[in-house]
Structure 1
């Protein structure tokens, strides 16, 4: 895929900031009329640049007061173990993100649960579902910065 031009980058930046904006308003911000802007948004979605338009919610107001970052060390690095692990983590909606890592841990999970008891229950279910060599849990005390918007360059070069 070819690099995005300045207008596409501006459209993506606006959508990441607020996907509820009317197309006409996005077009106005990026210097396009409504129809060409809509066509670009559709193309950005069709090419997979824009993968979804969602509402973001406050986890605490939904009852998810505890965020846990969990480092997982795999007992082996076989395709079979990875598939078993992936199937297992897919069964837990509380596991919000999962990354295969380079470095000291093999996988990093971001987990959102109501409290420590809920995390303990999830921990037990996960370790019963798949063999794990080591787990290290880190409990977030305060979310100091959070964004879902990537720092897209919207400068004219």
Structure 2
């Protein structure tokens, strides 16, 4: 698929808002037959626009209400070190996002956990895994906005 058309974008909007929609309901929402809709969705999946469909869980009900952003600084900038660090972080399920950054912070982690004691357990796991220069934690006091939806109307042409 070379370029997304308006119908593709409409399908993507609906799918990312509710991936549990039946194909018949999705087709109705976008004004296509179920068969045509299925073909388009399959093409969007094959082309990698739809990576996967997931259920979003309620973290509070699951006892994981705390979000912690962890800024990591290191003096190590070799590829082998990064490979070891990334492998260690991938083994920590509470780390839900992991980024290599520009600027003063080398890496940023987003964790979800139960409380401060739980964060301390995770912190110790991180610092046992590899040598770091500095680790700073920032606890989110309130979640003001959180979405998994990609802003499709803001794409450059």
| SS at structure 1 position matched to 2:131 | coil
The CA RMSD measured in Å over matched residues stands at: 1.3
Q: Which has the higher contact order (CA 8 A, sep 6+)?
A: 1
Gaps of 5+ in 1: none
1:75-123 CA deviation, whole Å, 9 max, x = no partner? 2211011101111001100000111111221111110011111110110
Taking structure 1 as reference, are residues 119 and 48 closer, same or farther at Cα in structure 2, changes over 3 Å only?
same
Matches within 5 A, 1:12-91: 12-91=12-91
Counterpart position of 2:127: 127
Q: Tell me by how many angstroms 1:46 deviates.
A: 1.3
| SS at structure 1 position matched to 2:97 | strand
TM-score, scaled to structure 2 = 0.93
Q: Distance in 2 between matches of 1:67 and 1:152?
A: 27
1:12-53 CA deviation, whole Å, 9 max, x = no partner? 110110001111111122221101111111111111111110
Counterpart position of 2:136: 136
Q: Tell me by how many angstroms 1:135 deviates.
A: 1.1
TM-score, scaled to structure 1 = 0.93
Q: Decide whether the 8 Å contact of 1:66 with 1:115 is kept in 2.
A: yes
Aligned length: 154
Q: Distance in 2 between matches of 1:99 and 1:32?
A: 39
Q: Tell me by how many angstroms 1:152 deviates.
A: 0.9
